[in-house]
Amino acid sequence: MTTLYLERASAVHRLNPVTKLVALLAIIAIVFAVPQWWVPLGIVVFVVVPAAVLARVGGRLLRLFLILLLPLLVVLFIVQGFFFPDGTTVLWQWGPARLTVEGLVFSLTIGSRLSALVLGSLVFVLTTHPARLMTSLTQAGMSAKIAYVISASLQIIPAFQERARSILLAQQARGLEIAGGPLRRARALLPLIAPLVLGMITDVDERSTAMEARAFGATPRPTSLTVVDDPLSERIGRWLLAATAAAVIVLVVVGVIA
Amino acid sequence: MSGSTPVVDANRTRNRIFVAAGTIVIVATYLYLILAQPAELAEGGLGTSALIALAGYLIGAGLIAAGAIHRLPTATLSLIPIAIVLNIAVGQLTAVLGLPLYLDSIGTVLVGVLAGPAAGAVTGALTNVIWGLTIGPIALPFAVTAVVIGVLAGYAARWGMFRRFYLAPVAGFVTGIVAALVSAPIAAFIFGGATGAGTGAIVAAFQAWGNSLLASTTLQGLLSDPLDKAITFTIVVIILFALPSRLRGRFPFVRQYNVFGKVAPVAPAEPAAPAEPEAPKA
């Protein structure tokens, strides 16, 4: 598996994946509904980060934050802080770049929302094993076909990367140049992709024959080998989370939170 | 849902409704964001546009994928995971080679051409889900763009754009324009124009020339997406023309719509000597 999942023994890991997914969706809905920039920041500081620490994935979350999110936030503050089209209160100006209060507030709003979205999703992915997620979603009524496609993709990735690497080495051994200008490097792509796709399409026939021989898709709701726990408390919790998110959205639309 | 009946026709109607509803939601989301946005930005805030962009696009993409996946036969389903991995592998390879392109939809286009718009839509949507699980969740809001690319690739194949070598880049260019338009509100309202260092610089330049945020991300998309998709479609057509026609002919969609133009004329033009018996229609 090449997913971001980290194996730990924690309460967050043990939660039903559907509960975590509902919590994530509720957080995202609230964060994008409320216009105040400090609400998403508060959710990150008081909900997402404590959840990561509780699940003992805080270190990895920090590293992913530095790799994935920080560059985006820096670009965001440069682009919108200095070049926000509707900025009127100019703090500092140099050529076409104008540092405006409106631009800074805008980047703060987008930046804190983006942080909540990305960090919340990361905590979900870090603490939820894909197989367990698929099982619980199928139990909740998702199509087994979707579960198959996602699980199969995750299992193929390592084998596929291995195949791609060996094709790259084989073509380099035959004199393929991957250094040089962009055009030359682009031309190098084709001898790599063509054998990959050829192999892939020949594989498909065998795979689908094997699946049909095992009656894939014949039963609308097959019995599951492993059952993910779904206690009553979590089911109630999910409804409460969904109701909270819906209430916040209604309050924003009506104009109570503005 | 627990209410699903074993009757095939009922499910078929339900799936059609899912796909139709998903399409309507996506179109309505885009139109709302384009038409209502100027008024809201003038008031000095983002309003509800970010929530509508995120929710509308995700729900629309989810509905289309859920409705489309039930139509697919097992042979197509087993093709999709490999196409998803191809998307991710070539996308990463492109980044490693340092090319100024994405090339992260080759598998999606390939499936769309070989197995039709529904298969292309599912491949696109699930690629972004896998991307979120393996590399990071940044790509997830753009799932709708991948769905649009897969659907358009399927229709391009159906309309004969892959029968001639030079038509494929044209179809790719048009697909890229639509993809740029659809993804611009996501880049603007969810990412604030900052989807990467290079794209961010271009957005900043357009804003400095006096364009609004949405106009800037649209223009930035129109600079890169049509070229990227034209190259993607070209790569796909080269790969598919290099495949033996025996392999291409395995896909019912290819035979039904005469996608490559060379395989099917065998049957109507030479009725006396059919190469192989016609497959029964699904």
Report d(CA B222, CA B205) in Å as an integer.
14
pLDDT at site B88? 86
- For chain B, what is the total number of helices (H) and then of strands (E)? 12, 0
Q: Could you tell me which chain B residue has the CA closest to the CA of A153?
A: B81
pLDDT at site B4? 43
- Decide if A193 and B239 are in contact by the 8 Å CB cutoff: yes
CA distance B219 to chain A (A): 15
Set of chain B residues whose Cβ sits within 8 Å of the Cβ of A141: 1-2
Give the residue among B139, B51, B37 at the shortest CA–CA distance from B88: B139
Pick from B82, B236, B243 the residue to mutate for testing the A interface (most A CBs within 10 Å). Answer: B82
DSSP-assigned letter for residue B148: H
pLDDT at site B37? 64
pLDDT at site A1? 47
Q: Is residue B91 included in any domain, yes or no?
A: yes
How distant, in Å, are the alpha carbons of B153, B241, B255, B260 from that of B164? 15, 10, 16, 8
How distant, in Å, are the alpha carbons of A157, A214, B40, B181 from that of A109? 36, 52, 15, 24
- Decide if A78 and B79 are in contact by the 8 Å CB cutoff: no
CA distance A48 to chain B (A): 15
Set of chain A residues whose Cβ sits within 8 Å of the Cβ of B122: 149
Contact B113, B162 (CB under 8 A): yes
Q: Is residue B186 included in any domain, yes or no?
A: yes
Of residues B132, B195, B200, nearest to A121 (C-beta): B132
Report d(CA B218, CA B96) in Å as an integer.
27
Angle at CA of residue A118, ends A66 and B218, nearest 5°: 100
Instruction: Determine the residue type at B168.
Output: A
Q: Is residue B267 included in any domain, yes or no?
A: no
> What are the residue ranges in chain B where pLDDT is below 70?
1-10, 37-47, 98, 262-282
How distant, in Å, are the alpha carbons of A216, A258, B126 from that of B178? 36, 34, 20
pLDDT at site B46? 64
- Decide if A189 and B93 are in contact by the 8 Å CB cutoff: yes
Q: Is residue B279 included in any domain, yes or no?
A: no
B92, containing H or E segment: helix B74-97
Buried (b) or exposed (e) across B148-183, using 16+ Cβ within 10 A?
Answer: bbbbbbbbbbbeebbeeeebbbebbbbbbebbbbbb
CA distance A76 to chain B (A): 5
pLDDT at site B262? 64
Of residues B50, B80, B93, nearest to A164 (C-beta): B93
pLDDT at site B44? 46
Q: Is B98 on the interface with A (CB under 8 A)?
A: yes
The secondary structure of chain A as a DSSP string is --SS-----SHHHHS-HHHHHHHHHHHHHHHHH---THHHHHHIIIIIHHHHHHTT-HHHHHHHIIIIIHHHHHHHHHHHHHH-TT--SEEEEETTEEEEHHHHHHHHHHHHHHHHHHHHHHHHHHHS-HHHHHHHHHHTT--HHHHHHHHHHHHHHHHHHHHHHHHHHHHHHTT----SSHHHHHHHHHHHHHHHHHHHHHHHHHHHHHHHHTTTTTSSSPPPSS-----HHHHHHHHHHHHHHHHHHHHHHHTS--
Q: Could you tell me which chain B residue has the CA closest to the CA of A35?
A: B47
Q: Is residue B265 included in any domain, yes or no?
A: no
Q: Tell me which residues of chain B, numbers 238 to 277, contact chain A at a CB-CB cutoff of 8 Å.
A: 238-239, 242-243, 247, 250
Residue ranges making up the domain that contains B58: 13-259
CA distance B264 to chain A (A): 20
| CATH label of the domain that carries residue B165 | 1.10.1760.20
Beta pairing partners, A100: A90
Q: Could you tell me which chain A residue has the CA closest to the CA of B129?
A: A150
* Counted domains in chain B: 1
Contact B89, B135 (CB under 8 A): no
| CA atoms in the 13 A half-sphere facing the CB of B210 | 0
Pick from A30, A153, A251 the residue to mutate for testing the B interface (most B CBs within 10 Å). Answer: A153
Buried (b) or exposed (e) across B14-44, using 16+ Cβ within 10 A?
Answer: bbeebbeebbebbeebbebbeeebeeebeee
Q: Is residue B266 included in any domain, yes or no?
A: no
ipTM over cut 0.95: no
Of residues B47, B77, B204, nearest to A79 (C-beta): B204
User: For residue B159, what are the contacts with CB-CB under 8 A and spacing of at least 6?
Assistant: none
Q: Is B59 on the interface with A (CB under 8 A)?
A: no
Q: Is residue B282 included in any domain, yes or no?
A: no
Contact B241, B165 (CB under 8 A): yes
Set of chain A residues whose Cβ sits within 8 Å of the Cβ of B98: 182, 185
- Decide if A145 and B72 are in contact by the 8 Å CB cutoff: yes
Q: Is A81 left (phi over 0), alpha (psi -120 to 50) or beta?
A: alpha
Q: Could you tell me which chain A residue has the CA closest to the CA of B1?
A: A141
Report d(CA A224, CA A161) in Å as an integer.
30
- Decide if B126 and A146 are in contact by the 8 Å CB cutoff: yes
Q: Is residue B268 included in any domain, yes or no?
A: no
Give the residue among A20, A42, A18 at the shortest CA–CA distance from A30: A42
Instruction: Record the tokens describing residue A170, joined without a space.
Output: 């084989």
Give the residue among A47, A42, A143, A216 at the shortest CA–CA distance from B125: A143
Of residues A33, A146, A157, nearest to B85 (C-beta): A157
Of residues A64, A182, A211, nearest to B78 (C-beta): A211
pLDDT at site B8? 53
Give the residue among A126, A39, A149, A62 at the shortest CA–CA distance from B132: A126
Q: Give CA B37 to chain center in angstroms.
A: 25
Report d(CA A176, CA A170) in Å as an integer.
9
User: For residue B48, what are the contacts with CB-CB under 8 A and spacing of at least 6?
Assistant: A33, A252, A253, B40
Walk along chain A (258 residues) and give the pLDDT tens digit of each residue: 478 888 889 989 999 999 999 999 999 999 998 888 899 999 999 999 999 999 999 999 999 999 889 988 999 998 888 888 777 777 787 777 788 888 888 899 999 999 999 999 999 999 999 889 998 988 888 888 888 899 888 888 887 878 878 888 888 888 877 777 767 776 777 777 778 777 777 777 778 888 888 888 777 677 778 888 888 999 999 999 999 999 999 998 887 776
